[in-house]
Amino acid sequence: MNAARPAHRSVIAETIAIGSELLVGGRSDSNSLFITEALGRLGIEVRFKSIVGDDEADMVQVLKTAVSRAGVVIVTGGLGPTVDDCTREAVAKATGRRLARRKAALDGMTARLAQWGRQPNKGQLRQATIPAGATVVTNPVGSAPGFLLEWKGATLVSLPGVPREMEAMMTESVIPFLADQLARSTRTCPQPITRQVFHTWGLPEADVDAKLQGLIPKRAPVDLGLLASPMGVLVSLTTKSGGAGPVSDEALSSLAQDVRTRLSDCLFAEGRETMEEVVGRLLAGQKRTVALAESCTGGLIGHRLTQVPGSSAYVDRGAICYSNQSKSEMLGVPVELIAKHGAVSREVAAAMAKGIRELAGVSVGLSVTGIAGPGGATATKPVGLVYVGLDGGAGGAITREFRFHGDRSVIKQRSSQAALNLLRLWLIDRGRT
């Protein structure tokens, strides 16, 4: 399945994310995905990804390891004004260079702060210190400058960890610099690395893998990747810049179509499109409106739908009905129904969906009720039991039962995805009639 790897270091890259919060669950690293795609368009393959906390000695060790195996090293984070931001010091120590305040860095930072009506404080002045011999990378949207330098045959780039700032600096400065480097190199002419992504929901990773067995021909310069998450299983086709030669557009298109055919029952989106964007597109295209009745998801479905620009055209309202009393008072769910079947039941999910639809006067009502845990379970209703209800008027309500695993946050995410997917399938079916 795996094609031969490019041998030259100049087309091998590593990303390093700096920050202790990335190790303890406070925040996830999304920068590496953007960097991988951006470098891939140049034919530079990210083969390594490291995450390191705010410890200078650990950073130095990771930096030394990175330049021993990659020709391009992109570091994000640790360039702020606080005491735990020590990426500059770590790079200086690893490379044996002194830190000095640079006019270009100071002027850019001062100008940006002036636009915000501020002056640099003592901590922010540290941000203008750059290792000797490094090139300052201007920050077009934030205050923290970045820098790049050549070290042991590798290009080391250090950028802020704020995604918006990092993306702008990569696009405007780093990518043009690396492209020029490759153009002047007589040793490498890498082919762009392309990646097609398919998003699935409803099947576990092992079942998705089974459906794709034998997809990639032997020695084809394409990698098949699978990544499971609370939002489903992501499938990717990634071409390589070396080895058996570039894959043709026709061959890649044929493989992509084969993926669509094999995964048709669970494939909901491609590329960067999310479930909420797919649902929003279908609602807008059919000129339908939706109202939400959420219990265990606590408004997560409404949040996701309204993250999509233009969602006011199809999202009417949402009710968070967490208690039994709220389900009865706000949605008209009969008290006797809850007493007989319990709040977490098909019957209550159906009544919630019908209640919010009739109250709002919308095309479709969507509901979710479940046990997110860690408490609240019984012998017959375990943590992770979730019911989704959908009421579109004619034909009555549709309900689905799910048994999710994971912690409270994961169960809420999976519940929201299941609810949106039920709405997606309902809309597709209505679109055929």
CATH number of the domain residue 227 falls in: 3.30.70.2860
pLDDT score, position 72: 97
Of 184, 203, 222, at which residue does a domain stop?
184
Res. 26: pLDDT tops 60: no
Nearest to 370 by CA among 298, 275, 276, 292: 298
Domain housing 340: 275-432
**Any residues with CB less than 8 A from the CB of 170 and at least 6 apart, and which?**
34, 35, 38, 74, 159
152 CB burial (10 A radius; 0-12, 13-18, 19+): exposed
pLDDT of residue 433: 77
Residues 172 and 299 in one domain: no
* Closest C-alpha to 377, from 296, 293, 294: 296
- Give the pLDDT score at 78: 93
Structural domain contains residue 153: yes
Asked, for residue 332, whether it belongs to a domain, the answer is yes
Q: Which residues pair with 400 in a beta bridge?
A: 388
Phi and psi at residue 87, to the nearest 5°: -65, -40
pLDDT value of position 189: 62
| Torsions phi, psi for 136 (to 5 deg) | -70, 135
Contact of 240 with 6, CB cutoff 8 Å: yes
What does the alpha-carbon distance between residue 77 and residue 85 come to, in Å, rounded to a whole number? 8
Residue matched to tokens 């046990």: 371
Are 75 and 149 within one domain? yes
Residue 95 domain-assigned (yes or no): yes
Identify the pLDDT of residue 3: 41
Regarding whether 289 and 357 lie in a shared domain, the answer is yes
The two structure tokens encoding residue 362: 């919308």
Over residues 242-254, mean pLDDT: 73
321 CB-near residues (< 8 Å, 6+ apart): 293, 294, 295, 327, 330, 331, 352
Q: Are 246 and 317 contained in the same domain?
A: no
Per-residue confidence (pLDDT) for residue 245, from 0 to 100:
59
Q: Are residues 280 and 398 in the same domain?
A: yes
176 and 203 belong to one structural domain: no
- Taking 60 as the threshold, does the pLDDT of residue 4 lie above it? no
Tell whether 189 is covered by a domain.
no
Residues 304, 380 share a domain: yes
Say what the pLDDT of residue 28 is.
Answer: 72
Same domain, 39 and 154: yes
**257 and 403 together in one domain:** no
Is 1 a domain residue?
no
Is there a domain that residue 14 lies in? yes
265 and 399 in a single domain? The answer is no
Residues 300-315 have a mean pLDDT of: 98
Q: pLDDT tens for residues 256-275?
A: 999 999 999 899 999 989 99
Work out the percent of the chain whose per-residue pLDDT is above 70.
95
Query: Residue 4 falls within a domain, yes or no?
Result: no
Give the tens place of pLDDT for each residue, 28-68: 788 998 999 999 989 899 999 999 999 999 999 999 999 99
pLDDT band at 345 (very low <50, low <70, confident <90, very high): very high
**Number of compact structural domains in the chain:** 3
Q: Are 367 and 292 in contact (CB under 8 A)?
A: yes
Look at residue 3 and tell me if it is in a domain. no
Residue 223's nearest CA partner among 212, 208, 207 is 212
Average pLDDT, the chain: 92
**Is the separation of the CB atoms in 130 and 136 below 8 Å?**
yes
Nearest to 297 by CA among 116, 420, 120: 420
Residues 234 and 290 in one domain: no
Supply the pLDDT for residue 121: 85
Least confident among 81-95, 114-128, 169-183, 388-402: 114-128
Question: Span 163-177, mean pLDDT?
Answer: 96
Question: Is residue 125 domain-shared with residue 239, that is, in the same domain?
Answer: no
SS3 of residue 300 by DSSP: helix
In this prediction, residues 392-420 reach a mean pLDDT of: 95
Q: Over the stretch 78-87, which tens digit does the pLDDT of each residue have? A: 998 888 899 9
Question: What's the order of all strands across the beta sheet hosting 315-320?
Answer: 315-320, 290-294, 364-370, 385-391, 397-403
